[in-house]
Amino acid sequence: MIVKKHLLYSFYIALATSIIAACSSGKTEESDNLSNAIALPVASIDTSTATIVNSYHGKIEGKINVEVRPQIEGQLQDIYVDEGDFVEKGQTLFKIDPSAYQEKLNNMIANENVAKAKLENANLEVERLKPLVENDVISEVKLKSAQSDYEVAKASLAQATAEVRSAEIDKEYTLIKAPVSGYIARIPKRVGNLVSESDSDPLTYLSDVEEVYIYFTMSESDFLYYTKKKAKQDSIRGNINNLRDNFKFPKVTLVLADGSEYDEKGTVDAISGQVDRSTGSVSLRATFPNQKNMLRTGSTGTLKISETLEGVIQVPQIATSDLQDKTFVYVLDEENKVRKQNIVIDDKSKDQYIIKEGLKIGDKVVLSGFDKLTDGSKITPLMQNN
């Protein structure tokens, strides 16, 4: 009887020990799983405001940019301005030696005087013959011949007068004047050089830069994006009949060659009527005020067109990884396990991607440590402000 009690007591002790060991083993396994969960930063997805900036290289030109060329041939006698000077319309810039043109003018004036004298003689002859014809002293044929000579003399005088005016114009062209007000560009010619209207290079350029044009191109896809956006806005407003007249780009920012931002905004006010077939691009023109005279013809800059999008889903670029032509993020589920999620990117705003497909409000994405993750990995989330 005593032996049986001893055996039963030993059984209960062994059973209790086994249960305690099993419980201890479960706790150890759970503890190991918790200790193996990697702590990684996680951000919650929500809608936000994004600013998209598109950049385009532009070339600056004065609103009025005129070539100054000689209209006659001759030796450059005087230069009255210097490079960079501001000149008023009508101001004398250059002088071509006028001596040959003055001599030509003198000859034409002399020819005109001869023609005047011949006309006067022809007129006197007609007046002399008229009474003789009326009194039948001479035949009418002689009067008609005299009248014909008079008409020839009259035409000769008109021709001589025209030649005088032509010679005067040529002499006036020896003084080359500013066709518009503006700034003088480089002057490649020097006093003594022979110049003519057929020269390949002008004497100089004259630029009115009170306002400047900046010419740039954008891809056809970018242009369609802006036009479609405008069409959508007009459709909402019930005004879709005249897109060309109503279409306006957002205000344009100019970044100068030194990286600084120009303090005036520009307006896109001209768009090419066709797409360049060789490049697939559209040419545009923006106008900028230039009261401080900072912008000059021939300079370059970068045009930035910005727009603000409300209520879009964004994800930090650092939270994404690329594989071939696809982009992925790691999304956290309710059990703190991650899965790889393919996303479709619509655009970029600073260091954020604007998401078109693949994420929704409330999703949680892992921000780093992707080399330590696979589908189903469990992590300890460290929530961050996105």
Q: For 317-370, write each residue's pLDDT tens digit.
A: 999 999 888 999 999 999 999 999 999 998 888 889 999 999 999 999 999 988
Contact 302, 285 (CB under 8 A): no
Q: Which has the minimum average pLDDT: 34-38, 197-201, 204-208, 247-251?
A: 34-38
- Tokens representing 25 are 């083993």
**Which H or E run contains 29?**
helix 2-36
Contact 288, 264 (CB under 8 A): yes
* Rounded mean pLDDT, 224-230: 77
CA separation for the pair 341, 198 (Å, rounded): 69
**In the chain, what are the domains?**
38-52+310-384 (2.40.420.20), 54-61+209-308 (2.40.30.170), 69-206 (2.40.50.100)
Q: What is the DSSP letter of 276?
A: B
Q: What is the mean pLDDT of the chain?
A: 85
**Which H or E run contains 162?**
helix 140-172
Of the candidates 16, 29, 63, 15, the residue with the CA atom closest to the CA atom of residue 287 = 63
Q: Is the pLDDT of residue 28 over 50?
A: no
Q: Which has the minimum average pLDDT: 14-23, 29-38, 263-272, 283-292?
A: 14-23
Torsion, CA 251, CA 257, CA 263, CA 268, rounded to 10: -20
Q: Is the pLDDT of residue 159 over 80?
A: yes
pTM (predicted TM-score): 0.61
Residue-level pLDDT at 136:
79
Residue-level pLDDT at 234:
53
Residue 18: pLDDT band (50, 70, 90) is low
**Which H or E run contains 359?**
none
Between strands 300-316 and 252-255, the pairing is antiparallel
Residue-level pLDDT at 111:
96
Q: Is the pLDDT of residue 251 over 80?
A: yes
Of the candidates 177, 208, 194, 204, the residue with the CA atom closest to the CA atom of residue 68 = 204
Cα separations in angstroms, 292 against 59, 83, 269, 303, 353: 19, 19, 22, 19, 39
- Tokens representing 171 are 């002499």
Q: For 288-317, write each residue's pLDDT tens digit.
A: 999 888 888 889 999 999 888 888 999 999
Q: For 43-76, write each residue's pLDDT tens digit.
A: 999 988 888 888 999 999 888 889 999 999 999 9
Contact 56, 217 (CB under 8 A): yes
**Which H or E run contains 86?**
strand 86-87
pLDDT > 90 in the chain, percent: 57
Residue-level pLDDT at 65:
86
Q: Is the pLDDT of residue 25 over 80?
A: no
Q: For 108-143, write each residue's pLDDT tens digit.
A: 999 999 999 999 999 999 999 889 888 878 888 888
Q: What is the DSSP letter of 179?
A: S
CA end-to-end span of the chain, whole Å? Answer: 75
Residue-level pLDDT at 32:
46
Residue found under tokens 């929530």? 383
Contacts of 362 (CB under 8 A, 6+ apart): 44, 45, 46
Q: Is the pLDDT of residue 93 over 90?
A: yes
Neighbours of 245 (CB within 10 A): 7
Residue-level pLDDT at 24:
46
